[in-house]
Chain A
């Protein structure tokens, strides 16, 4: 299954062995290298013909924001096995938290950095508030409750216009700054890129550590067999709440960053479609595998917002006959749909399946086939 990746990584075996021992450092180095390589790549054809390096860097930043959301949702779905269809709600709550304390709308202007934490705390609080009464629901009932929550939050933000400025949203949100050293601007995407990449690495390291910790193993146990876990003394409700809170707080933090990046929050930015595209990224990337879902989300975002949009330009550049008669903008979502279906049919376990999960599925398949 992972023949190609094994073949590719064979020469790097000693490096891999080193980084397996020092994983956090490995993630740090890997992310740093990638974050330098990506902008360099955009100076090479065909990427340089699509858009300027600054625009690419901005796109990478947004893609990394999606990737962080996917990693957070993966904690809930991939680790604890709880289907959450309203993840965008926590993303929204983080964004509005920052908007309330750093915009002309309220007149309050608190600094950005501590608000990162505050966004996480707000996310976690709402995660627990939603989770506490509903986590005893099983499987798909939980899914619909989260879906409902995901609808309630933007509707409330939209209609409670005295407090949120309704559909107009809150604009003019403060950009981060390091006093005396660096003021973030909208036309220079590099500082935000650096911030998001650093946060990306931190969150990834945190999630890997969590996964290896007692909590992570508890989640494994619950996902595999709730009853067995419970009879072994695991407090199911607490463990599920922890997963929910961790996922929600990541969304809250990312929400703060996102609000500071685009300087406006509106209820429409956080509708069901966002929850669904993050979910699609998690499943396509390979549930349970943190690096997999992050890569999946990153690639899907770029595919959806750059490649599909630029198909026209690309086709024109290469001047492919017949194809250059078609307006791909018209078909971008049909293409997206077809890609989703084909990817799932080809690799139902995702592009980068979690190793543990692969082992889980293999014997299951043989057993069922035998029964048939």
Chain B
């Protein structure tokens, strides 16, 4: 009796661990078959950007249960900071064909943008959210909306309301051939840098002391505080990381699309937020999955000529999905509050 239950639970656990990778693999294979390699690469690239933005949403939600409406705009500001650093500070004008120079430029760009945006995120947290930690739940939601207005309009004031071009450092001509299709290296670069950042984040959360503090804080803030976790510091680090990732997404957005504009944050923020919920809000791996899933839906709609319904399809999917699986793809890490 006892052994049987142990075996079955081991089997169950084994099945549990394989099920997710298996279903992801099956989904990707299906998508590749339906969309073809070109659109598949488009979807993966778009998904990589959504995923980076969604991570910030989900981390902040996980730890202070705030729908951070300003996060989409933090991403937007990130794209402008990246543009400013790249074109004004580093003096880039177009693509760089010298590989070592390109590598250094891109690394410097990432490092500076992530740094600036992490500081901005922490600043916003300190000024607009921390004073409201014990306030009614909707109060910080409204300050987040206020911050979103401020960021959007300040950027509009300094950079104008029009589309602004960003130097595309990685030459768009570089490509490799995969089964007869031309796949630009730029897309692979976007996907790779996003995946590297996501893996680094997972390692940070699961392996480091601070990561553990973040997890315990999101489970039970008071108990963590009693166990010696510095709550304010932990929340601030969460914002540093989340906004830093949004900054990285801003860099990637600029390199991939070659432009940005002040209203970028709204739509992207909405999509990323949806991705976070779809994945199970508070769950970082789920947010990444949700980002890719939404990208596949959007690209799929557009590939088959239904682009004008793209938004409606994404949100209908969300509603239907949540009706049948109320805690999202991977389930939420946070307990429900009454």
Q: Is there a direct interface between A and B, measured as CB atoms under 8 Å apart in the complex? A: yes
CB < 8 Å neighbour of A155 from B132, B157, B225, B309: B309
B154 adjacent to A155 (CB under 8 Å):
no
- Contact A77 to B138, CB < 8 A, known contacts A334-B149, A334-B153: yes
In the bound complex, CA of A331 to CA of B150 (Å): 9
In the bound complex, CA of A371 to CA of B134 (Å): 13
Chain B residues within an 8 Å CB radius of A155: 308-309, 311-312, 315
CB distance from A260 to the nearest CB of B (A): 28
CB < 8 Å neighbour of B336 from A138, A147, A284: A138
- Contact A276 to B145, CB < 8 A, known contacts A139-B336, A348-B136: yes
- Contact A345 to B131, CB < 8 A, known contacts A337-B147, A337-B153, A340-B149: yes
B337 adjacent to A283 (CB under 8 Å):
no
- Contact A341 to B150, CB < 8 A, known contacts A136-B326, A155-B309: yes
* Residue B274, interface by CB 8 Å: yes
In the bound complex, CA of A333 to CA of B157 (Å): 11
Q: Which of A281-310 contact B (CB under 8 A)?
A: 283-284, 287
* Residue B135, interface by CB 8 Å: yes
B326 adjacent to A334 (CB under 8 Å):
no
Interface residues on chain B, number (Cβ under 8 Å) = 50
* Residue A212, interface by CB 8 Å: no
Stretch of B165-173, B246-254, B316-324 on the interface side: B316-324
Chain B residues within an 8 Å CB radius of A158: 308
In the bound complex, CA of A117 to CA of B67 (Å): 35
Nearest A residue to B157 by beta-carbon distance?
A330
B-contact 0/1 string along A51-84, CB 8 Å cutoff: 0000000000000000000000000010000010
* Residue B143, interface by CB 8 Å: yes
In the bound complex, CA of A333 to CA of B143 (Å): 14
Main secondary structure of the interface of A (DSSP, over half): helix
B152 adjacent to A148 (CB under 8 Å):
no
Nearest A residue to B328 by beta-carbon distance?
A141
In the bound complex, CA of A338 to CA of B128 (Å): 10
Q: Which of A77, A155, A340, A344 has the most CB of B within 10 A?
A: A344
CB distance from A244 to the nearest CB of B (A): 14
B-contact 0/1 string along A259-285, CB 8 Å cutoff: 000000000000010001001100110
B326 adjacent to A141 (CB under 8 Å):
yes
In the bound complex, CA of A188 to CA of B7 (Å): 81
Main secondary structure of the interface of B (DSSP, over half): helix
CB distance from A342 to the nearest CB of B (A): 8
* Residue A363, interface by CB 8 Å: no
B139 adjacent to A344 (CB under 8 Å):
yes
B-contact 0/1 string along A124-144, CB 8 Å cutoff: 000000000110111111011
- Contact A283 to B141, CB < 8 A, known contacts A140-B65, A141-B326, A155-B311: yes
Nearest B residue to A159 by beta-carbon distance?
B308
Interface residues on chain A, number (Cβ under 8 Å) = 55
CB < 8 Å neighbour of B146 from A145, A287, A338: A338
Nearest A residue to B231 by beta-carbon distance?
A372
* Residue B222, interface by CB 8 Å: yes
Chain B residues within an 8 Å CB radius of A344: 132, 135, 139-140, 142-143, 146
Nearest A residue to B276 by beta-carbon distance?
A144
* Residue B34, interface by CB 8 Å: no
In the bound complex, CA of A191 to CA of B84 (Å): 54
Q: Which of A168-211 contact B (CB under 8 A)?
A: none
B319 adjacent to A145 (CB under 8 Å):
yes
* Residue B80, interface by CB 8 Å: no
* Residue B338, interface by CB 8 Å: yes
B148 adjacent to A348 (CB under 8 Å):
no
A349 adjacent to B135 (CB under 8 Å):
yes
- Contact A152 to B312, CB < 8 A, known contacts A283-B138, A345-B143: yes
B152 adjacent to A333 (CB under 8 Å):
yes
Chain B residues within an 8 Å CB radius of A339: 146
CB distance from B51 to the nearest CB of A (A): 17
Q: Which of B100-155 contact A (CB under 8 A)?
A: 127-128, 131-132, 134-136, 138-143, 145-150, 152-154
Chain A residues within an 8 Å CB radius of B145: 276, 280, 337, 340
B-contact 0/1 string along A331-371, CB 8 Å cutoff: 10110111111011100110000000100010011001101
Q: Which of A226, A348, A372 has the most CB of B within 10 A?
A: A348
- Contact A337 to B61, CB < 8 A, known contacts A345-B132, A365-B134: no
B-contact 0/1 string along A219-233, CB 8 Å cutoff: 000000111000000
B322 adjacent to A137 (CB under 8 Å):
yes
B157 adjacent to A331 (CB under 8 Å):
yes
B277 adjacent to A141 (CB under 8 Å):
yes
Chain B residues near A (Cβ < 8 Å): 61, 65, 67, 127-128, 131-132, 134-136, 138-143, 145-150, 152-154, 157, 222, 225, 266, 270, 273-274, 277, 281, 308-309, 311-312, 315-316, 318-319, 322-323, 326-328, 336-338
List 11 interface pairs A-B (beta carbons < 8 Å), by A numbering.
Answer: A77-B138, A137-B326, A144-B273, A148-B274, A152-B311, A284-B142, A331-B153, A337-B153, A344-B142, A348-B136, A368-B134
